[in-house]
């Protein structure tokens, strides 16, 4: 298996998270950051989540990565933070669990948690991709909004006896889950940018579905499997696919593989490595209306590629969303591009 030497990796100085974020993810984040007083509200809401207590629980029950403990992971996170030009290198904790999991936690001083199941599954370059994925969540500031989703899920459980209330909450949760899944696609791109090894990224995503048996897996066959999942022959299968997404915050492995493969080979990845990407210093000038239009165009482009019979019913709708959504947010923000930006950007 070929890997990319450290010296060959391009440092993406000052890169904005907008460079890799999926348009649907990016438009939601830009819109939220421009709402007057939203930063203050987030700080108050996030204060309900005891970040210090959570960190202490990992200091007590997990292993803090350093140059003396899991030094290979320590090197990966330092290298990934350097490549993505993060303001600071986050702490990483390894916790003993067989599940294959990783997460970025916190707001003011976010940190990363990975399980031993994940560490055991991946080789060094695959793990570099996973660490880069979590660094992407930190750079985008996803942790705050993900915490909101968890609160709403808990709230929905508490008011389940109120049919009207829970229906409204569920509608919000469905929308947040869709954003959550798009944020995962965003950070797969960040993982690729951090590692700059497409084969390793592909292997990591295949292993999520098939486990450690890499000799039994084939990238071309897995790509064909993704096409088979997309091009189901019956409308009933399309509806089942939608139903299976409910309650899932992560896209399925074949979808993540196909989406990353499409983005990596479509020109955007190479342009970023060539230095053509938005900078953090320009985040305040991002236009909400334009990002909404980009999101609608992204859905439209995705639908045009899809062979799913149900998707065909919705083709053309994105044109209306582009016009109406973009105009709405332009009017809401007074046509101004300036606004508050996230601390993580």
Catalytic residues: 134
CA 118 to CA 122: how far, in whole Å?
7
- Cβ distance 140 to 345 under 8 Å? yes
C-alpha 257, offset from chain centre = 13
CA 274 to CA 100: how far, in whole Å?
33
């Amino acid at each position: 298996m070929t890997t990319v030497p450290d010296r060959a990796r391009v440092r993406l100085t000052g890169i904005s998270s907008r460079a890799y974020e999926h348009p649907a993810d990016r438009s939601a984040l830009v819109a939220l950051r421009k709402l007057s007083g939203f930063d203050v509200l987030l700080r108050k809401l996030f204060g309900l989540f005891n970040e210090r207590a959570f960190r202490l629980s990992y200091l007590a029950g997990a292993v803090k990565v350093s140059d003396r403990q899991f030094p290979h992971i320590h090197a990966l996170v330092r290298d990934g933070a350097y490549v993505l030009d993060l303001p600071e290198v986050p702490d990483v904790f390894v916790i003993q669990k067989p599940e294959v999991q990783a997460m970025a936690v916190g707001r003011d001083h976010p940190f990363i948690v990975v399980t031993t199941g994940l560490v055991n599954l991946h080789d060094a370059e695959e793990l570099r991709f996973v660490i880069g994925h979590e660094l992407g969540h930190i750079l985008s500031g996803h942790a705050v909004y993900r915490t909101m989703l968890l609160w709403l899920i808990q709230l929905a459980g508490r008011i389940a006896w109120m049919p009207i209330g829970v229906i409204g909450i569920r509608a919000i949760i469905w929308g947040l889950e869709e954003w959550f899944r798009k944020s995962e696609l965003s950070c797969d791109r960040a993982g690729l940018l951090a590692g700059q090894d497409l084969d390793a990224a592909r292997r990591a995503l295949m292993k999520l579905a098939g486990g450690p048996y890499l000799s039994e897996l084939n990238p071309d066959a897995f790509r064909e499997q993704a096409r088979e999942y997309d091009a189901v022959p019956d409308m009933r299968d399309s509806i089942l696919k939608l139903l299976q997404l409910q309650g899932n915050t992560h896209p399925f492995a074949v979808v993540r593989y196909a989406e990353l493969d499409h983005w990596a080979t479509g020109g955007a990845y190479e342009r970023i490595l060539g230095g053509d990407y938005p900078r953090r210093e320009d985040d305040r000038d991002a236009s909400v209306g334009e990002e909404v239009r980009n999101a609608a165009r992204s859905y439209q482009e995705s639908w045009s590629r899809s062979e799913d019979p149900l998707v065909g019913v919705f083709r053309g709708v994105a044109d209306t969303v582009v016009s109406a959504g973009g105009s709405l947010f332009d009017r809401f923000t007074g046509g101004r591009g300036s606004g508050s930006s996230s601390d993580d950007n």
